[in-house]
Amino acid sequence: MQDSPGRDTRIALGLALTLRHDGHGSVADDLTDPAGLTAWVTDHPGLVPDGEGFTADAAALAAVRDVRAAARALFARAVRPGEPSPADAARLLPVPEAVRRLNEAAARTPTVPVLAWTGTAAPVVRAAPAEGARTDLAAALAQAVIGFLAGPDRQRLRACHAPRCVRYFLKEHPRQQWCKPSCGNRARVARHQERHRRTA
Ligand SMILES: [Zn+2]
């Protein structure tokens, strides 16, 4: 087993997974309106400093969707030579454009590094808003995505290609192929049916 993923990883994956399979054959999007974004932030306490009582507006939604589009384009880049998630494989931003947008969003909140070193754990550094800087949700998300992409967890990122699944996930062990056991079961059933069709 690997170490549990860090905060940046959890945030970056969480953002990417707001595009998800709806259980009926198409892709659902949790971030289609400001209320959806407010609900997502509320469901992820600690996501942004001052996240409690956060209410999204149209501008915040647009900025976060922009960061998500950049993140998913770079997730697709990160899983190469594997195939990206089929949810948006046909409409991915070009990589340089995604990098530019991510960096621009991250720059909206200037940060300073803050060291934490407690107990027997390894020291960790995290970015905190610089003094006087306003905390911007899209900036905080973009910074987490940058931390994830530049960190060691990126190498474990995979897209699940079980039938109907569109999830990105972190491989927990070397032979893992699917995001969860139920996906593995569906994939095996589909392969079996495919073989059966070909030999029938
Ligand atoms: Zn899956």
Domain containing residue 151: CATH number: 1.10.3300
Calculate how far, in angstroms, residue 26's C-alpha sits from the geometric centre of ligand 1. Answer: 14
Tokens representing 147 are: 């931390």
Task: Domain of residue 53: give its range.
Answer: 7-155
Calculate how far, in angstroms, residue 130's C-alpha sits from the geometric centre of ligand 1. Answer: 39
How high is the pLDDT of residue 5?
Answer: 74
pLDDT (tens place) for every residue of the chain, 200 residues total? 455 678 889 999 999 999 998 878 789 999 999 999 999 999 887 776 666 778 999 999 999 999 999 999 999 999 999 999 999 999 999 999 999 999 999 999 999 999 999 999 999 888 888 988 888 899 999 999 999 999 999 999 999 999 989 999 999 998 899 999 999 998 999 888 888 887 76
Q: How many CA atoms lie within 13 A of 110 on its CB side?
A: 4
How high is the pLDDT of residue 1?
Answer: 45
Residue 98 included in any domain = yes
Is the Cβ–Cβ distance between 144 and 126 less than 8 Å? no
Calculate how far, in angstroms, residue 78's C-alpha sits from the geometric centre of ligand 1. Answer: 17
Residue 184 included in any domain = no
Which residues, including other chains, have CB under 8 Å from residue 109's CB and lie 6 or more apart? 129, 130, 133, 134, 135, 136, 139, 140, 143
Structural domain total, the chain: 1
Calculate how far, in angstroms, residue 185's C-alpha sits from the geometric centre of ligand 1. Answer: 10
